[in-house]
Each structure stands twice: as C-alpha cells, then as structure tokens.
Structure 1
Amino acid sequence: NASQHAIDKCLLPKLAIFKQRYPDIRLELMNESRFVNIITERFDAGVRLGPEVGQGMVAVRITPDMEMAVVGTPEHLRRYGFPQTPADLVAHPCIGYQFADGGLYQWELIQDGKSVTHRPEGQWAFSDSYMEAEAARLGLGLAYVPVELVANDLERGTLIRVLQRFSLRMDGLFLYYPHRNVSPALRAVIDTLKI
C-alpha cells in the first residue's frame, strides 16, 4: 500500500528488475493517499514518509530525504509577485493538501533555523501531490510539493521555484511492516527496495 508518488518515483523503478529475479512472485501495489492500517486492511507492507509509522512496525528506509518546493507559473508570479519570505505567501492563492480526515496540511518551512508554518489559502485543496502539481501547472496558485514531481517543469521554465532557502527537507520514504518474521517473498521485496 503506497501513494501514487511512492509507486511512480520509487517502487516501480526499483521493482522493475524484481520480475526478472523472482518471476514466481506476484506483486500487488495499491495506490492510496490516505494512511492505512496495513494490519486491519490485510496488506503485507506499506510505504510512507518518515520512520514514524506506528507502534510495533518495522521501518526500512527506501529513499533518501525528500526536498519540498514552493512552485508557481511565470504568469502567477507576474500577477502576484515573487514572495521573498514565508510571510509573503498570504498574498498568494495557495493550493492545499487535504488529509483523509479533512485536515489541511500546514506548509512547513524553515526560517532563521526555526520551523514556521503557512496555512494555504485558496480555492483548491487536493488529496494527492500529483494533483497539486498539476493545479500549479494550470496556474491555480502556488503549490508546495516534492521537488522531484516538478523537476521537469522547473527545467523547462513552465514552473518557477520560490522560497527555496526556506523549503523543508523531509525524511524520505520508508517501507514498513508489522513484524520481523517476514515471508521470503516480502524479504526479497525489502532487500530490493532498501538503500
């Protein structure tokens, strides 16, 4: 069980070689942006950001730390200006990330060595980082997304990164599972994914 971001950017690329090594193992990757109790919903493992995945779980890092980026279109920045500090974000429509429980992610930024937050204000909130990035591409506001989701846009200039020195580096992705006595198939997956 993993987010679309984790499946696209980590699991599929790393598991592409898995099929050749282990042709008899069948993998099922289920895409969910909500936090899932993998035990009650009968998953062998899950993938989430950070090692804090719940009591009694074993967590194995499968990606390096992830850098976040505040991005917008050139047109958006011409209209609203370039924010110089996190406080300037209040003058911008911002695209929100909404958790399954309805809560909105408060953008976590770093200023003068301290954590500061920004509550995104705007018409749009999504439950998926891909949709946030797409909304930013469409000029619907600034988005705060993993930089790897918008790297091509930044290279082409279709999105511009702002407030880079304030952006957060988050713990990378971790594979987690409920116990140390895992099946040989899951052990093979863990060995393939871990860094």
Structure 2
Amino acid sequence: MITFSRVAETRSFTAAAQSLGVTQSAVSQTVKRLEADLGIRLLSRSTRSLAPTSAGEQLLATLAPNVAELDAKLADLERLREEPGGQLRVTCGKHAADTLVWPAFSRLLAAHPDIEGELSVEDRYVDIVAERFDVGIRMRDNLQLDMVSVPVGPPLRSVVVGAPGYLDACTALDSPRDLSRHRCIGFRTAGGILSPWSFERDGRTETVKVTSSVVVNDGNALVAAACAGIGLAYVLEELAAPFLRDGRLVEVLRNWSPRFAGYHAYYSNRRHPPPAVRLFIDLLRQEI
C-alpha cells in the first residue's frame, strides 16, 4: 500500500524506488502483486506517463491520511533515537532498588521529563523480553546467555552474623563446616528455594546447606531475626552494616567472605537500546 501510494504521488516508478531505497523492478512487482490481489487495475501506464485509475484515486484518497500519520510517527521514532523519551520499564530486586536503582532512576526522570518511567521491584528473575521490560538489574550469575549485561554496581559481600548473646552461648566458628553445630536462619528466594551459603578462602570455595530453624523471605526480616538472637544469618553486608556498627550484630567467618561482582544491568541482544536505556545505564555505572 505504501509503495503504491508513493508511485501514485510521484507518478514515477523510478522516483518512488529512489525515495523508498529499493530497485525500480521491486516497486513495479509490488504494485503488480497489489493489483492482482485486488483484481483491479490501480495505475494507467504508457511509455511516457503514469497516472492512477479511478479505482487508484479512490484507494489513494483512503490511504493518504494514514500514510501521513505513519510518516509522522516514523519521524517521531527517528527523534527518539537521538533524544531520550518514551517509556522506560525497569525490573530489579528490593536491595538493588534501595541501594542502586532508585537513585539513578529518579535522577534520570528528573532530568528528562519526556521519559515515562516504571520501576517493578520483585526478587524473582524476570524474562524481560516476554514481560516487555527494557532493562533488568540482577546478579551476573542469574542472567540468561542471550542477554547483553553491563556491570553497574560496586562489589558486594555476603557475611555471616549473629547477636552477641547468641554467640557468647555457642562454640566458636573456625570454618564453614562448623555451621552444622549452630542454629541458622534461612532465606527462601522468590523461586521457592533456600539460598545456599557460599564461602571462599585462598582460592577454595565451599557451599554449605545449613539446617534452618527459621526461614524468611525478606532481607530486613533476616537481619531482625539475627538481632533477636534466633541464630546466625547469611546476609549482604550492606543490610547488616548499621547493626554491626552499633554492636547488635557480630560478624563471624570473616576470612571466608571475600567481595564478589555486584549487580549487572541486562537487556535483550535482539533490541537496539534506546537513548533512555543508555542514559539509565550510564547513571547506574556512576554508582560503581
């Protein structure tokens, strides 16, 4: 339809082909197929001239406003390639939202009011292609292989902590294997599994499946349970930091808890990231 419209307006297969960026033969064959599908001639052709038939004029009059609207929309999309605007949908977990994503997200929206932002905070892994998100924020080891990923946050560290009263009443811990003698507080992920406790020292890694006397599915609840003396908790250092500073929690197995790569932004490798996504990732990277 667009090809026919361009031919009818320019009265030339050659001019239409040049404006569409295709060959004259392709334009001619496209119009012929359209006429064959409709079962009616749309263009009168001679060796010197070309003009719409009566049926062609009727079709052109119907198409004209729609083609004009489409051209305007394409022009808007061209501008979006250079100027940040449109919708930006982001998904991330609660810790990432609190410590990294929301500061950058709010700065982006304040600086670019043409961007319509949506932030979805949930701890499950989200298929951003199926659920139509532009970008997700997760740990690198939780990403699919067909995603483009960019490191956007500082290194993180998981620590084992307990209340002083609990630790005073228990035997000391020298290695992760000693956890079997302690009450532990488990964390259940959005996928329904209990998070393993992973450790590393001198290039040697150990993953321990602890016996959980209490299980929670929220980071703040995990810290609160440890502060209450229920047992040991395995938690991101940032969540426990205020309580470690004021003495309500004490870290154990410190030599077994090195830092690891932090959050990554990921988006589909089948999509060219729009300016809003590129700007958002740049702001996130400034937090490193």
Q: Is it true that 1:184 corresponds to 2:275 in the alignment?
A: yes
Give the distance between the partners of 1:3 and 1:130, measured in 2 at CA.
13
1:127-149 CA distance string (max 9 Å, x none): 33333222212222111111111
Superposed CA RMSD: 1.8
- Other-structure match for 2:229: 139
105, 110, 122: which one aligns with 2:212: 122
1:71-112 CA distance string (max 9 Å, x none): 111111122233122121111111112233332222111244
Aligned in 2, Cα 1:51/1:105: closer, same or farther, shift over 3 Å? Answer: closer
Q: Which has the higher contact order (CA 8 A, sep 6+)?
A: 1
Give the distance between the partners of 2:167 and 2:279, measured in 1 at CA.
47
Give the distance between the partners of 1:140 and 1:12, measured in 2 at CA.
32
Letter of the 1:72 counterpart: G
Aligned in 2, Cα 1:75/1:184: closer, same or farther, shift over 3 Å? Answer: same
Q: Is it true that 1:75 corresponds to 2:165 in the alignment?
A: yes
Contact 1:51–1:59 (CA under 8 A) maintained in structure 2 = no
Match of 1:124, SS?
Answer: strand
Matches within 5 A, 1:1-195: 1-50=91-140, 53-179=143-269, 181-195=272-286
Higher helix share goes to which structure?
Answer: 2
Contact 2:163–2:227 (CA under 8 A) maintained in structure 1 = yes
Count of equivalent residues: 195
Letter of the 1:171 counterpart: A
Contact 1:5–1:130 (CA under 8 A) maintained in structure 2 = no
Give the distance between the partners of 2:106 and 2:171, measured in 1 at CA.
43
1:134-185 CA distance string (max 9 Å, x none): 2212222111111111111111011111111011422200011113511222
Give the distance between the partners of 1:101 and 1:19, measured in 2 at CA.
31
Contact 1:51–1:60 (CA under 8 A) maintained in structure 2 = no
Give the distance between the partners of 2:186 and 2:275, measured in 1 at CA.
41
- Structure 1, unmatched stretches of 5+, are none
Give the distance between the partners of 2:284 and 2:202, measured in 1 at CA.
36
> Highest CA radius of gyration, 1 or 2?
2
My pick for the range that moved more, 162-171 or 122-131, is 122-131
My pick for the range that moved more, 160-169 or 131-140, is 131-140
Match of 1:36, SS?
Answer: coil
Aligned-residue sequence identity (percent) comes to 36
My pick for the range that moved more, 35-44 or 158-167, is 35-44
- Structure 2, unmatched stretches of 5+, are 1-90
Match of 1:23, SS?
Answer: coil
My pick for the range that moved more, 164-173 or 79-88, is 79-88
Contact 1:51–1:61 (CA under 8 A) maintained in structure 2 = no
- Other-structure match for 2:24: none
Contact 2:146–2:268 (CA under 8 A) maintained in structure 1 = yes
